[in-house]
């Protein structure tokens, strides 16, 4: 009998089950807007001592948490323009080493459909795709042209034996149109419905839809977001992950009665790293979503939780901008404790009052 128990435990470990009798599972992690303002660029350049841009310490504290996930996603809200000049707001362009640092922190996918994706026009948008390919990072949301979009959608990833489909859309591109045929996945219900069906028909068991939507700096979702979320739920999405407002917004588990399943809706994860100044923009949230396989073999979203983090500014010496997890308050520079506390209190108030069945993991 003991031998049988040990054998079953070994099989459970190999197949992804976390305990005797539990189902195989996978954990997906999502973080918000990865920004590069001018002060961040200047600091990274200074720390590199004239040899490129140094981001080596930006994500060292949060990286172990990201790496624990089976697949991690963030929103790359800067084109990788290729230099020699790199710029912050309003028209972003960052060096490839920034994306490499995000990859090294554990991110497997970077979303590129956002309002800044055409900041350096078609050339930089296309170069961003090539650069991400070259560093081995998955990406969705923008494409070399319409033909490439047709060939690359659906994007389906095998994650611990689960076939997970990903889609990414943005409300716009700050009024900058593509002039040389670059394809940006814009929010269009007919196109979204078509691509969701195409992804399902191609074998996706779980469908993740990342939306760049909402109103900047507003801590609650608006009617347009709710309408789109309802539409995505009705069309069969399993996870709906939002960004763009640069502040956190609520997370909710809702019910798709037609398909008899729960769906995770995250309205905004806020900033992952930035040089923004107001308290609500100084940090963000990460959300972990667990998918499981039922005894009948059907994959489904099971549950989710979240944590927050604070983007500390350089504190002198050789320090850089750094993402500090909420469970490491001792790492927050003394001069920035008040800003961290303001961000934490504001975020916690929103999540406590408006989250539905998405608890905090680290209390």
Dihedral angle sign, alpha carbons of residues 356, 361, 362, 363: positive
Say what the alpha-carbon torsion angle 109, 115, 118, 119 is, to the nearest 10 degrees: -110
Residue 276's pLDDT is what? 98
Distance CA 338, CA 331 (A): 13
Of 120, 232, 230, 231, nearest to 180 by C-alpha is 120
Q: CB–CB of 108/63 below 8 Å?
A: no
> pTM for the complete prediction?
0.93
DSSP 100-162: HHHHHTT--EEE--STTTTTTHHHHHHHHHHHHHHTT-EEESEESSHHHHHHH-SEEEEETTE
- Give 24-55 pLDDT, tens digit per residue: 999 999 999 999 999 999 999 999 998 999 99
Q: Tokens standing for 112? A: 């590129």
Greater confidence (362 vs 268) lies with 268
- Give 88-137 pLDDT, tens digit per residue: 999 999 999 999 999 999 999 999 999 999 999 999 999 999 999 999 99
pLDDT at 9 over 90: no
Distance CA 58, CA 54 (A): 9
- The mean pLDDT of the chain is 94
What is residue 122's three-state secondary structure?
Answer: helix
């Amino acid at each position: 009998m003991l031998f049988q128990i040990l054998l079953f435990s070994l099989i459970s470990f190999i197949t992804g089950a976390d305990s005797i009798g539990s189902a195989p599972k996978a954990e997906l992690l999502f973080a918000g807007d990865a920004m590069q303002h001018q002060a961040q660029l200047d600091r990274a350049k200074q720390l590199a001592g004239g040899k490129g841009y140094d981001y080596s310490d930006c994500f060292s504290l949060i990286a172990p948490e990201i790496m624990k996930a089976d697949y991690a996603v963030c929103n790359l809200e800067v084109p990788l323009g290729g230099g020699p000049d790199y710029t912050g707001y309003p028209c972003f362009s960052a060096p490839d080493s920034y994306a490499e640092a995000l990859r090294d922190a554990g991110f497997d996918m970077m979303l590129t459909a956002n309002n800044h994706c055409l900041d350096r026009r078609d050339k930089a948008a296309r170069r961003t795709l090539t650069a991400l390919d070259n560093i081995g990072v998955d990406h969705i949301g923008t494409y070399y042209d319409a033909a490439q979009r047709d060939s690359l959608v659906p994007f389906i990833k095998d994650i611990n034996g689960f076939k997970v489909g990903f889609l990414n859309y943005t409300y716009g591109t700050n009024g900058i149109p593509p002039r040389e045929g670059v394809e940006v996945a814009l929010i269009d219900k007919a196109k979204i419905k078509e691509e969701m069906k195409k992804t399902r028909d191609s074998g996706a068991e779980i469908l993740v839809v990342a939306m760049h939507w909402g109103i900047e700096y507003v801590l609650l979702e608006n009617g347009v977001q709710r309408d789109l979320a309802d539409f995505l739920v009705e069309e069969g999405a399993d996870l709906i992950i939002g960004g763009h407002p640069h502040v956190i917004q609520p997370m909710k588990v809702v019910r798709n009665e037609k398909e008899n399943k729960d769906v995770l809706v995250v309205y905004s994860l806020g900033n992952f790293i930035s040089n923004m100044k107001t308290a609500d923009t100084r940090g963000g949230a990460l959300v972990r979503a667990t998918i499981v396989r039922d005894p009948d073999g059907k994959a489904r979203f099971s549950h989710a939780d979240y944590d927050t983090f604070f983007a500390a500014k350089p504190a002198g010496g050789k320090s850089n901008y750094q993402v500090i997890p909420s469970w490491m308050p001792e790492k927050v520079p003394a001069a920035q404790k008040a800003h961290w506390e303001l961000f934490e209190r504001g975020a916690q108030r929103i999540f406590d009052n408006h989250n539905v069945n998405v608890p905090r993991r680290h209390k």
